[in-house]
Amino acid sequence: MQYTEQRFHNTSAGDVITFIIKMASDPTQLMYGIFFDDQHIGNIKLGKINSQHQTGNLSYLIGARKCWGKGIASLVIATITEIGVQQIGLMKICAGVYENNIASSRVLLKNGYSLVGRRIGQYVFNNSRIDSVLYAKHKDRQT
């Protein structure tokens, strides 16, 4: 969780349950567990869904290191992006990553997301300021 804001919090099992209930009851949030070999290895969320603007924000985490580099993130990003565009009718889906999270940047680009911006010095990481790198996928634009 080194590349998430969750690294600043101690989260209890109760906190997790409360979060899941909150996500399940909010129509602007679509969250799924990611499973591999019958084990929960992470989550993916299409959140802040705005039906007026037809936009949403993508976030994901695969916490099980043994599952990194297996194409799982790419598969779930492609799947939830398709759900967002085809089933929900979103025209634009955005995602942001820490600049040093090269794997996340790479998987977004692989899934047709484009680099759209950068927030200079947005985060503190290992006592240094780093950028937030912003990506988006537009339904009506080729990448």
pLDDT band per the 50, 70, 90 thresholds, residue 6:
low
* Residue 16: partners with Cβ closer than 8 Å, 6 or more residues away: none
Q: Is the pLDDT of residue 9 over 90?
A: no
pLDDT band per the 50, 70, 90 thresholds, residue 78:
very high
Of the chain, the percentage scoring pLDDT greater than 70 comes to 90
Contact (CB, 8 A) for 12 and 19 = no
- 84 in helix, strand or coil? helix
Considering the chain, what is the average pLDDT of its residues?
A: 89
What is the model's pTM?
Answer: 0.84
State mean pLDDT over 122-130: 94
Q: Is the pLDDT of residue 116 over 80?
A: yes
Q: Which of 73 and 4 is assigned the larger pLDDT? A: 73
State mean pLDDT over 84-110: 96
Q: What does DSSP assign to residue 1?
A: -
Taking the alpha carbons of 68, 71, 72, 73 in that order, is the dihedral positive or negative? positive
